[in-house]
Structure 1
Amino acid sequence: MAEALKGRLGRLLLHPVAIFTGLVAGGVLGWLDKGQMPVIGTLGDIYIRLLQMCVIPLLFTAVATSLSRLFLDGAANRYFTRLVLLIIGGLAVAGALGVALGYWGQPGGELQLAAREVIGKVIFTAEAAGTGVDPAHTQGVFADLVVGMFPENIFGALTTGNKIAILMFAVLFGVALGSIAREKSERATALLEAFYDTFIKIIEWLMYVLPFGLFCLAYSQVSAVGLDVLFAMTKLVVFIYAGAIVLIALYSVLIWWRVGGSYLATLGAMRETVVVAFGTSSSYASIPSALRGLKEGLRLDRRVVDLALPLGITLNPPGSTFHFALATLFLANLYGLALDPGQMVFVLFGAMLAGVAATGAPGVAALSMISIILVPLGLPVEVAIILLVAIDPIVDPILTVVNVQGNAATTALLAGKPEVGPEGALRVANSE
C-alpha cells in the first residue's frame, strides 16, 4: 500500500504539468517582483547544491565501473575511438551552425540607435565597476586547461571540485581496475556499482521536490535579467534560441533513428532530462536523469552509457561551441568587421576549443574563454564578456539543454541499437 502511494505521488510530482507549472510560476513571480524575496533564490541555490552534491561521486563511479567492465570484456578500444570521432564531429556541426547563422542573420548589424545606446551604457557601467577580464590572462587558458587535466593530488581535485581532473583520474582508475586479476576486479567493480546505485537513490529522492526546486531556480534566473539590455540584444537572443532548437531537434531525431521504435516514446524517455537541464542550467545536475532515461527509458547498454555520457558532459559542449561561434559573429557585426572565409574557419575551430575550455571553468570565467577566438581577430574581449554576461541568465538554460541532449545523442550513436528478441524482451545489440 505504501509503495503504491509512493509511486502515485512520484508520478504526480514528476508529471509534465506539475514541472511546467513550477517553472512558469517561478519565472512569472521573478519577473513581477524583480527579486524582492531573496529567500526563494536561496532555496533554489540549496536545491541545485543538493543535486550537484552527488555529481562528482556519481561521475567517478559511473566512468570507473563502465571502463572496468569494458576492459574485462575486451571492448574498450572500439568504443574509445568512435567516441572521440563522434565528439569532434558533433562540435564541428554545432560550431558550423553558429557561424552560418551569424553570417546569414547578421545579429549585430543594423541595430537601432536606442539598442546601440543601451549596449554602450551597459559596457560603460561594467567597465567603470571593473568587471572586465584581462585578455593577457585568458590567452594561455587552453594550455592551463590541458595541464589541469592531470591532478598532482586527487584529494585536492576532489576538494576544489575540478571535474576534468577527477574525470581523468576516474578513467585511469577504471582502466587499471579492468586490467588486474579478474576476480579482484569484479569484486571491486561490484562495490563501486553499489555506491553508484546509492547516489542514484539520493537523486531519486530529490526528484520528489523537482517542481518546487525549479520554481525557486526560475525565480532567481528571471529576476536577474536586465530587460533593457535583453531588448537591445533581442536579435542575438532569438538567433541563439532558434539555433539551439534546431540542434535539439537534430539530436532527438538521431536518438530516435538509432534506438528505433516510437519517436514519441524516445521524446518521453528524455523528457525529464530536458526539463532538469532547462530549469537548473546545469549539465552536471542533469546527468542522473539522463543516465536513467538512456538506460531505463531507451534500454541502452549500461556500460557504454555510464562511460560516454559523463565523459561527454565534461568534454563535449556543443551548446557552448555554438554560442561562442554565433557571439563572435555578433561582435564582428557590431564593430563592422567583415570576416573572410579563412577567418570563418578560424572562428569554427576556435569555438570548438573555447567550448571545451569553458567546461572546466566556473561562471564568468567560462564565458571569458571566447578570448581564444577574439584576441587573434582583434575584437574586444571585455565588451564581449560584458554583453554575454548580461544575457546569460536567459540563454544559458537552452544552451544547457543543447549540451545534455547532444551528449545523449552521442551516447545513443555509440551504444548500439536496441533490438527485440524472439521472446519479446528488449535487448541491446552491439552496433557492429
Structure 2
Amino acid sequence: MNVLKPLSGSTLALLACMAAGALCGLVAEPAGALAYLFGQLYLAVVNMAAMPLLVVATFFGLRQVCELPRPAWRVGTIGALALGLMVLCGVAGTLAGALAMPGAHLPEHAYATFGERLLQSAGDAQEVGVTLFDGADAAVSQTSAYGWREAVPDNFYRVLAQGHPLGILAGTLLFGLAFAALSREQTSMLGNVFEGVYRTLEIIIERANLLIPVLAFGTAAWVSAHTPPAMLAAMGSFLVCFLACAAVLGGAATALTARRAGLPLVQIVASLKAPLLVGLTSGSATASIPHTIEAMSARLGFSRGIVELIVPFGAVFVRAGSALYFSLATVFVANLYDRPLGAGDFAVIAFASVGAAFLSSGKSGVATVGYMGVVLSLLQLPAEAASVLFVTIDLICEGPRNVVSLLAVCAVIALVSAGLPSERVMPEPLRAQPQVRAPLRFALSRGQLALVAGCAMTVASLIVLMGIGVGAK
C-alpha cells in the first residue's frame, strides 16, 4: 500500500505504468491479461461502494442546499446549467465534425481494415445480422421508453437490486427532499448513521483507488494486445478530433472554474489533480466522487452542501463527454458511408447526441457505445456495424469522456455557488495558516510626553511622602 500510494497520485508514474503495460501487451500478453483482471476487480469494488456513497451524499447535499436562501431556484439553476453544458458539448462536437470531417476520404486500406473487423466480429458471434435501415423508429422508441422507465421506477427496491443508477437517484432525490424537510432534532440519529456510512465508503474508495496503477497497466496491455495498429490508424481521424475537442472543452471548463473561484488556473489544476487522474485512468465516472467533493469544497472553498449535491448528480446525469463523443462518432460514420449532411442533419445530431447521452446515464464502458445507435438510427445509418468499430477503441476514449464530464460538473458548481458570500468558505491552505496579531504601537507627541512625565513624578512624590509618614509613626 505504501508503494502504491505515491504511484496513484503521480502523473508521471501513471504514464510510465501505461507505457509499460502497452509494451507488456505486445511481448507478454498473459501478464497483461492478469493485470487487466485485477483492474476489473478494482472497478467492481469501486462501483460497489460508489452507489451507496452517491445516495448518502445526495441526502446531505439536499439537506444543506435546502437551508440556503432560495433552494428551489438553486436546484432549478443546477439542472438548467447541467443541461446547457451538455447541449454545448453536443453542438461543439457537431461543429468540430463538420469542420474536420473525420472519416471522409479515407485510404483504401482503412476500408479493408474496417471490413476485416466486421467479418471477424460476425464470426465471433457465429452470425451476421446487421440492421441497416429497418426498425430505426422502433429502436429509438424502445430505447427511450426503457430510459424513462428506468428514470421513473415504479419499484425502488427493484432498481436498487438491479443497480440502475437513474432509478436509484430518482428515489434518493424524493427521499432526500422529505429528509431535508424534517428538523435536525427529528433526524439527528439517522444523520449520525448516514455520516458514519458516508465516511466509511469514502475510505473504501480511497483505499481501492490505490490500485489505479495496476488498472492503468492492465488497460494499456489489453489495448495493445487486442487492438491492431491498422485499426488505430484507420480510426485515427476520429481519435485525433475527439481528443482535441476533449482537451479544448476541458480547458475551457477549467478556466471558467478558475475565474468564478477567483483563483489562479494552476491552483485549480493542482487541486483537481487527484479526481482528474482517477477519472482518466479508472474508466469509472463514480470512482472520482469522493476526490471531487474534497477538492471542490476543502481545497477550492465552494459550499460543501452544493458540492455534495451536484457531484453525485453530475456523475450520473451530466454526460457532457458522452454528448461530445456521440456527435463526433455520428459525423464520422456519416462520412464513412458518404452520407451527405445538411444543416438540419447537423441540428439533429447535436440534440440527439444530448438525448442519447442522457439515456446512457449510469452506464460506462462498452455499454455507453450502444446508445450511439439512437443518433445513428435517426439518420438511417448502420448502428450495429458502427458499434463494432467503436467498441474496439472504447478503452482509449472512455477516460477523456469521464474527464470532460467531471470538469463540466466542476463548472456547474462554480457557476452556481461562486461569488455568494453565504456559500463560500475559506480554502484549506488559508485556514491552515495561524493568525498573527499585528503589534500595538504607541505614538506620543512632546506635550503628551511631558504630561505623562509630570504625572509619573507626582505619583512618585506621593509614594515617597506616604513612606516618610508611615516611618515617622
Look up the match of 2:89: 94
Look up the match of 2:197: 195
| 8 Å contact kept, 1:224–1:393 | no
- The amino acid of 1:53's aligned partner reads M
Look up the match of 2:325: 323
Report Cα offsets for 1:258-310 as digits up to 9, x if no partner.
Answer: 11222111101111111111111111112222222212221211100110111
- Shift of residue 152 of structure 1? 3.1
Cα distance in structure 2, aligned partners of 1:26 and 1:9: 16
Structure 1 29/161 Cα, relative in aligned 2: closer, same or farther at 3 Å? Answer: same
- The amino acid of 1:118's aligned partner reads T
Q: Which of 84, 108, 111 pairs up with 1:113? A: 108
- Shift of residue 9 of structure 1? 8.6
Cα distance in structure 1, aligned partners of 2:343 and 2:217: 45
Look up the match of 1:18: 13
1:249-264 mapped onto 2 (5 Å cutoff): 249-264=251-266
Q: Which of 367, 387, 392 pairs up with 1:385? A: 387
In structure 2, stretches of 5+ residues that fail to align are 433-473
- Shift of residue 375 of structure 1? 1.7
Report Cα offsets for 1:166-195 as digits up to 9, x if no partner.
Answer: 111111111000112441134433431221
1:232-381 mapped onto 2 (5 Å cutoff): 232-361=234-363, 363-381=365-383
Structure 1 75/200 Cα, relative in aligned 2: closer, same or farther at 3 Å? Answer: farther
- Shift of residue 344 of structure 1? 1.0
Look up the match of 1:66: 61
The farther-off stretch of 279-288 and 182-191 is 182-191
| 8 Å contact kept, 1:222–1:393 | no
Cα distance in structure 1, aligned partners of 2:130 and 2:31: 30
The farther-off stretch of 303-312 and 366-375 is 366-375
Look up the match of 1:165: 167
Cα distance in structure 1, aligned partners of 2:264 and 2:342: 44
- 1:57 aligned to 2:59? no
Cα distance in structure 1, aligned partners of 2:267 and 2:101: 38
Look up the match of 1:229: 231
| 8 Å contact kept, 2:285–2:364 | no
Cα distance in structure 2, aligned partners of 1:208 and 1:109: 42
- Shift of residue 222 of structure 1? 3.9
Report Cα offsets for 1:45-96 as digits up to 9, x if no partner.
Answer: 1122222221011100000111122224454212211111111210111111
Cα distance in structure 2, aligned partners of 1:365 and 1:248: 23
Look up the match of 1:429: none
The alignment's TM-score, normalised by the length of structure 1, stands at 0.89
Structure 1 219/12 Cα, relative in aligned 2: closer, same or farther at 3 Å? Answer: closer
- 1:126 aligned to 2:121? yes
Cα distance in structure 1, aligned partners of 2:130 and 2:163: 23
In structure 1, stretches of 5+ residues that fail to align are 427-432
- Shift of residue 419 of structure 1? 6.8
The alignment's TM-score, normalised by the length of structure 2, stands at 0.82
Q: Which of 38, 41, 50 pairs up with 1:46? A: 41
- Greater Rg over alpha carbons, structure: 2
**C-alpha RMSD over aligned residues:** 2.6
- The amino acid of 1:79's aligned partner reads R
- Shift of residue 255 of structure 1? 1.3
The farther-off stretch of 199-208 and 296-305 is 199-208
Look up the match of 1:146: 148
Cα distance in structure 2, aligned partners of 1:321 and 1:367: 11
| 8 Å contact kept, 1:350–1:372 | yes
1:412-427 mapped onto 2 (5 Å cutoff): 412-417=414-419, 418=424, 425=431
